Homo-oligomer: A and B are copies of this chain.
Amino acid sequence: MRIALAQINTVVGDIAGNERLILDALEEARGTGAQLVLFPELAVTGYPPEDLLLKEHFLAAARDAVARIAEACTGIVAVVGFPERTDDVYNAAAICADGEVQAVYRKVHLPNYGVFDEIRYFQSGPGPAIFELDGVKVGVTICEDIWRPGTPETEEALAGATLIVNLSASPYTVGKARRRERMVGQRAADAIATYAFCALVGGQDELIFDGGSFVCDHEGRVIARAPLFTEHLLVCDVDPQAAASARLRDTRQRPAARDLVTEVAHLGSFAVGGEHRSDSPGGEIAEPLDELAEVYGALVLGTRDYTRKNGFGHVVLGLSGGIDSTLVVLVAADALGPENVTCVIMPSPYSSEGTQSDARTLAANLGTPVLELPIAGPMEAYTELLGPVFAEREPDLTEENLQARIRGNLLMALSNKFGWLVLTTGNKSEMSVGYSTLYGDSAGGFAVIKDVPKLLVYRLVEHRTTQDPQSPVPPEIVSRPPSAELRPDQRDDDSLPPYEILDRIIEGQIEEDLGRDQLIARGLPAEDVDRVQRLIDLAEYKRRQSPPGIKITSRAFGRDRRVPITNRFRG
């Protein structure tokens, strides 16, 4: 049997555009001789549509699109994710065959943790369901359904399904692709069935859907794999008879099948005259990526998709000669082409010659357009205006923040005048402790590296530069101690613990919800723990007003971590 997994890049709310993507992939799949083509979870609407799901006219538009897609399903069966509006609303899969929606499977397990809010919108489906295609029983599942052991996939296999398909929209975190393959491989071995995992690809606000669709056989071996971070039609020959024969030999599964009491819905039997038979099951197997290539790829895809899906062709950022804006400009140039990335160098009297010249060199090496806008003039205008009000007070963070805000204003003025998207350059370490200026360096439309801790920023720049025989990055950018350059001789470690300590505290508190004592038990200095925990708690008001950015860790700021601003609990 030949199957095709359509790893497509949908846009939330673009029902007409998604319909075209689906119809194109359907056509291509039919051309390969596939009997079955799979699409991602909620492919018709994009994922996650959030509160659009509360609108009747949105659900009606999705329904109409599914009906049109089904009309095109002749000579092939398609399983298409969509939100089904009946008396309730379900996260559903339409089984399309012979020009009609023949049946609907409804997702059983609704995730309502982390970035997910599915119980806000959907009712759980009643349970397992299978359909028959050219004599092969196929079990249907949607995303979370296979992330918990047991129902519905277990029962579908026991009811005879030798192929379990999964329509997925699985948000990227570091190493997720590897964990998915391990888990699904084990599920396949347990159920003695071929598993086909069809994944969404693309960026949607804070989320990256990384793709990496794959098929594993009934012993859990990956026999086909699509690449990460790009659209792909993965075609794979599978051998359902091999699973059936393995079950004949398995002494555990047959009594369990006999004793199965759960009702497994039968969604219909279809024949598409699949004559294809391959001697060798399997398909193309893309190479997996190492961790840094994976993260870098996620940043590039996220930046490209946020920019283009929101109607921008050009981005602008402040290039300081520091490591953070270096990573952002590398990512942006790879995402959009250097000609579509304007770098703005905005020196103040506190900017060193070294950082300015490194910024110029970097932009020149990359071939991006550059603007230079020294900020001394506006600094003086503010000082003159505010001088009498501030009277005898010493300069403090106020004056530092004003510099950052002038730079933010200039970038936003360029954005307004020329229609460019402003990329911000703050990393996760800074976002955590509030080491940034609200409406200053945090001002912009998209925060590319907001979930990337500082030490990982360095590793990613190194990763990217070693890809290039001639690195565009002046080595001083990597070797110079980090500084915000907002007062003379400033260094980040004047105000913060070394990043080797800071990043470990942040990971423990944000990703693992550890308390003070647990962090200290890990060998982190008590004084640093207390100070950083307090800073993290107090900076929530800044994070709440920061632009969206790409989630790469197990807990990002944004929808993923919902904490009150008004909050007196520390740690």
Complex CA distance for A320 and B569, rounded to whole angstroms: 38
Decide if A52 is an interface residue (CB 8 Å cutoff). yes
Decide if A471 is an interface residue (CB 8 Å cutoff). no
Contacts of A17 in B (CB 8 A): 568
| Binary CB contact string for chain A from 180 to 204 against chain B (1 if under 8 A, 0 otherwise) | 0000000000000000000000011
Contact A412 B386, beta carbon cutoff 8 Å:
no
Decide if A493 is an interface residue (CB 8 Å cutoff). no
Given A57-B571, A390-B417, A545-B547: A52 touches B381 (CB 8 Å cut-off):
no
Closest to A391 in B: B417
User: For residues 73 through 112 of chain A, which have their beta carbon under 8 Å from a beta carbon of chain B?
Assistant: 112
User: For residues 128 through 160 of chain A, which have their beta carbon under 8 Å from a beta carbon of chain B?
Assistant: none
Decide if A51 is an interface residue (CB 8 Å cutoff). yes
Contacts of A381 in B (CB 8 A): 377-378, 380-381
Contact B439 A409, beta carbon cutoff 8 Å:
yes
Contacts of A377 in B (CB 8 A): 381, 384-385
Given A545-B547, A571-B57: A204 touches B417 (CB 8 Å cut-off):
no
Closest to A546 in B: B545
Closest to A386 in B: B413
Contacts of A50 in B (CB 8 A): 562-564
| Binary CB contact string for chain A from 107 to 135 against chain B (1 if under 8 A, 0 otherwise) | 00000110001011000000000000000
Decide if A167 is an interface residue (CB 8 Å cutoff). no
User: For residues 350 through 407 of chain A, which have their beta carbon under 8 Å from a beta carbon of chain B?
Assistant: 371, 373-375, 377-378, 380-382, 384-386, 389-390, 393, 396-398, 401-402, 405-406
Surface stretch bound by B, among A6-14, A235-243, A293-301: A6-14
Complex CA distance for A548 and B438, rounded to whole angstroms: 14
The number of chain A residues with a CB under 8 A from chain B is 85
Given A51-B562, A515-B55: A567 touches B445 (CB 8 Å cut-off):
no
Contact A413 B398, beta carbon cutoff 8 Å:
yes
Complex CA distance for A546 and B438, rounded to whole angstroms: 11
Complex CA distance for A57 and B516, rounded to whole angstroms: 9
Contacts of A203 in B (CB 8 A): 566
Q: Which residue of B112, B306, B438 is within 8 Å of A112 (Cβ)? A: B112
Decide if A58 is an interface residue (CB 8 Å cutoff). yes
Contact B443 A439, beta carbon cutoff 8 Å:
yes
Decide if A205 is an interface residue (CB 8 Å cutoff). yes
Contact A382 B402, beta carbon cutoff 8 Å:
no
Complex CA distance for A439 and B541, rounded to whole angstroms: 14
List, sorted by A's number, 28 A–B pairs whose CB atoms are closer than 8 Å: A14-B569, A15-B569, A48-B564, A55-B513, A56-B515, A57-B518, A112-B112, A112-B120, A113-B120, A119-B119, A120-B562, A204-B564, A309-B568, A310-B565, A373-B385, A373-B386, A374-B385, A378-B378, A378-B381, A378-B382, A382-B409, A386-B413, A396-B416, A396-B417, A398-B413, A405-B409, A544-B548, A545-B547
Nearest first, the 10 closest Cβ-Cβ pairs linking A and B are A13-B569, A57-B515, A14-B568, A381-B381, A398-B416, A13-B567, A439-B439, A378-B381, A377-B381, A398-B417
Q: A residues near B, CB below 8 A?
A: 11-15, 17, 48-52, 54-58, 61, 112-113, 117, 119-120, 203-205, 305-306, 309-310, 371, 373-375, 377-378, 380-382, 384-386, 389-390, 393, 396-398, 401-402, 405-406, 408-410, 412-414, 416-417, 438-439, 443, 445, 513, 515-518, 541, 544-548, 559, 561-569, 571
